[in-house]
């Protein structure tokens, strides 16, 4: 039985743990392959953040005729060459993934790459189903970075129709005329924007009364209003069954007005992701799980077995790449300096939804502030009220800030509108470094007439004591 100093399960964020400081460690990396082509390098690179944002940018460009019309510029979208868009994007990503795999397999002398699904068969003992058969290995230390996978809900008939998830939908052979998207979270909102901008008729189905309902209620309400104008939006609906009808897929729904059905050539299911703790049989490895089925870790990312750490989607409540990256750096340090471990900082975790419009947020929503009994004041600034917003003729975007009325410290920020993720970054910085709203607003220049004036005004308008 081969024994290693360190075994890393998962080649997403886990792949970036190893650097020169591990050169004299005997390491194994285990990866089963992700997505339709069993790729190396995890979700973000192959089936997540990176390709989706490459499609989102393309979709934003495809939306220029609509944006231009409001400015008095007549543009024409003569067509979308989907195979070319798709192949451009994956023509860039697939070689990076393959290069990463080759580097681990052939270019890292102290690293053994084991390709296959890994399962704990005992505490600190792993069995990997490789193409050459099963191999059982042990190690002094394990890093579990095995991520998660899309959930497919239990709906009668769904197993009889072709179901796409975010893993497969970006590699469609051709654009369908119509697409049904089940789910109104991050993935639903981003792909609805992508496919509708590229000319697909999108029907979006949600269980609740709002799209992106975890956002601050003002933001979710505004986004839902816009979504209803862009897509055939069916909210407060339960999907009762699925069936095939000729070339199409029909979903039978139950809604406020009773039974109804929707049809499309393609179906995308985006109802959340589940951690891969079951795939690796974490319980047999002695690893405690949270109520959500994630691997339980302390603030230094240590799991319940000594010498085992976990990071990213398999253990974090935040399924975001910047969080997985942060936790990777913490685990990396703690592997190298076990005598002086550091903790992850999850105080101000931002997120963004790259849809149309874009959304970005950090800290508490107003509803969370109320539930927690936190004292707060708010200020909302429309894009329509700043000079660059006039330039864009924006009528729907805004920034909303929440601050402590006594200290002026920011406790939440929510932006919906053009470039929201970029605009939010200085607020994240202020929260991390304890900069109060007045100092932030008046202690620096704000470029005029640039979009960050949105934040300058929102900061100045906070009714602080
Ligand atoms: C469509 C989509 C868009 C996204 N967009 C964004 C975004 O814009 N911004 C953002 O911050 N986040 C985004 N995310 C989330 C982000 O991709 C994840 O949070 C991040 O990639 C998680 O990294 P990880 O290292 O924890 O897991 P992963 O990158 O998923 O790595 C886990 C690896 O472990 C492997 N594995 C699993 N089980 C086993 C096993 N038993 N044996 C061997 N190998 C195994 C998997 O094949 C995988 O390669 C997006 C996610 C999706 C799905
Ligand atoms: N821009 C980004 O950072 C980005 C982009 C995509 C994904 N992600 C990450 O990936 C995660 C997964 O994305 P997601 O959109 O699949 O999940 P999500 O949790 O964002 O949204 C899932 C939605 O599906 C609904 N739902 C759950 N079960 C359902 C059912 N049976 N029928 C109908 N609706 C149901 C939920 O109520 C929710 O609204 C996100 O939470 C996020 O952390 C991030």
Instruction: Give the tens place of pLDDT for each residue, 351-394.
Output: 999 999 999 999 999 999 999 999 999 999 999 999 999 999 99
**CA atoms of 105 and 107, how far apart (whole Å):** 6
pLDDT category at 89 given cuts 50, 70, 90 is very high
Interface predicted TM-score (ipTM)? 0.98
Q: How confident is the model at residue 268 (pLDDT cuts 50, 70, 90)?
A: very high
53 is known to lie in a ligand binding site:
yes
Instruction: State the Cα angle at 153 between 147 and 154, rounded to 5°.
Output: 135
Each residue of 181-199: pLDDT tens digit?
A: 999 999 999 999 999 999 9
pLDDT of residue 351: 98
- The reported pLDDT for the residue numbered 382 is 98
pLDDT on residue 27:
98
Ligand 2, atom nearest to 187 Cα: 15
Please say if 322 is a catalytic residue. Answer: no
Question: Which of 54, 169, 187 has most ligand 2 atoms within 8 Å of its beta carbon, as the pocket-test mutant?
Answer: 187
CA of 352 to the centre of ligand 1 (A): 16
**Residue 145: closest CA among 42, 10, 16, 44:** 10
As given in the structure block, the two tokens for residue 86 are 């798709």
Cis check for the bond before 357: say yes or no (omega within 30 of 0).
yes
User: Do you find a cis peptide bond into 449, omega within 30 degrees of 0?
Assistant: yes
316 lines ligand 1 (CB under 6 A): no
Answer yes or no: is 188 a known binding residue. yes
d(CA 71, CA 169): 33
The domain 2-149+274-336: what is its CATH number?
3.50.50.60
> For residue 391, what are its two tokens?
């330039």
Nearest to 366 by CA among 411, 328, 406, 301: 411
Q: How is residue 144 written in tokens?
A: 């579990």
Q: Kindly state if the Cβ of 279 falls inside 6 Å of ligand 1.
A: yes
The string of pLDDT tens digits covering residues 191-246 is 999 999 999 999 999 999 999 999 999 999 999 999 999 999 999 999 999 999 99
pLDDT-derived band at 419, boundaries 50, 70, 90: very high
Number of C-beta neighbours around residue 232 at 10 A:
15
Q: How is domain 357-460 classified at the CATH fold level?
A: Enolase-like; domain 1 (3.30.390)
Please say whether the beta carbons of 70 and 127 come within 8 A: no
Residue located via tokens 């795999």: 101
State the ligand closest to the CA atom of 170: 1
Q: Which residue in the block uniquely carries the two structure tokens 């931002």?
A: 350
189 in a labelled binding site: yes
User: What pLDDT, on a 0 to 100 scale, did the predictor assign at position 427?
Assistant: 98
Domain ranges within the chain, ordered by starting residue? 2-149+274-336, 158-271, 357-460
Whole-number Å distance, alpha carbon 289 to ligand 2 midpoint, is 21
Structural tokens at position 99: 């290069």
pLDDT at 303: 98
Distance separating alpha carbons of residues 194 and 356, to the nearest angstrom? 9
Q: Look at domain 158-271 and name its CATH class.
A: alpha beta
158-271 and 357-460 agree in CATH topology = no
């Amino acid at each position: 039985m081969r024994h290693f100093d360190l075994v890393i399960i998962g080649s997403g964020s886990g792949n970036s743990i190893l650097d020169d400081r591990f050169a004299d460690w005997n390491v194994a990396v285990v990866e089963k392959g992700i997505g339709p082509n069993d790729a190396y390098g995890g979700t973000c690179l192959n089936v997540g953040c990176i390709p989706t944002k490459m499609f989102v940018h393309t979709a934003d460009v495809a939306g220029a005729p609509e944006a231009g019309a409001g400015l008095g510029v007549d543009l024409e979208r003569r067509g979308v060459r989907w195979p070319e868009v798709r192949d451009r994007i994956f023509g860039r990503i697939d070689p990076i993934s393959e290069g990463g795999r080759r580097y681990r397999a052939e270019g890292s002398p102290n690293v053994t790459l084991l390709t296959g699904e890994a399962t704990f068969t005992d505490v600190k003992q792993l069995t990997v189903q490789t193409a050459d058969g099963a191999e059982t290995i042990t190690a002094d230390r394990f890093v579990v970075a095995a991520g998660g996978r899309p959930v497919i809900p239990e709906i009668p008939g769904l197993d009889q129709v072709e179901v796409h998830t975010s893993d497969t939908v970006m590699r469609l052979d051709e654009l369908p005329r119509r697409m049904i998207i089940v789910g109104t979270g991050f993935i639903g909102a981003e792909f609805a924007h992508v496919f509708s901008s590229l000319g697909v008729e999108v029907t979006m189905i949600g269980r609740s009364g709002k799209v992106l309902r975890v956002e601050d209620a003002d933001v979710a309400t505004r986004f839902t209003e816009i979504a209803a104008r862009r897509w055939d939006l069916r909210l407060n609906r339960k999907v009762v069954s699925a069936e095939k009808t000729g070339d199409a897929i029909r979903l039978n729904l139950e809604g406020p007005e009773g039974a109804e059905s929707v049809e499309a050539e393609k179906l995308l299911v985006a109802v959340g992701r589940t951690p891969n703790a079951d795939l690796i049989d974490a319980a047999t490895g002695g690893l405690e799980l949270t109520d959500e089925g994630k691997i339980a870790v302390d603030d230094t990312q240590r799991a319940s077995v000594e010498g085992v750490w976990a990071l990213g989607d398999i253990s974090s409540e935040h399924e975001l790449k910047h969080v997985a990256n942060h936790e990777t750096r913490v685990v990396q340090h703690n592997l190298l300096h076990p005598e002086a471990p550091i903790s992850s900082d999850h105080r101000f975790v931002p997120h963004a939804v790259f849809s149309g419009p874009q959304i970005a947020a950090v800290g508490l929503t107003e509803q969370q502030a109320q539930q927690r009994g936190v004292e707060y004041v708010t200020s909302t600034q429309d894009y329509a009220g700043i000079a660059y917003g006039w330039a864009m003729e924006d009528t729907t975007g805004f920034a909303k800030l929440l601050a402590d009325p006594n200290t002026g410290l920011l406790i939440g920020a929510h932006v919906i509108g053009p470039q929201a993720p970029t605009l939010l970054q200085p607020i994240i910085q202020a929260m991390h470094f304890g900069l109060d709203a007045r100092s932030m607003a008046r202690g620096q220049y704000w470029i005029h007439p640039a979009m960050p004036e949105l934040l300058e005004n929102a900061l100045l308008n906070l009714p602080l004591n």
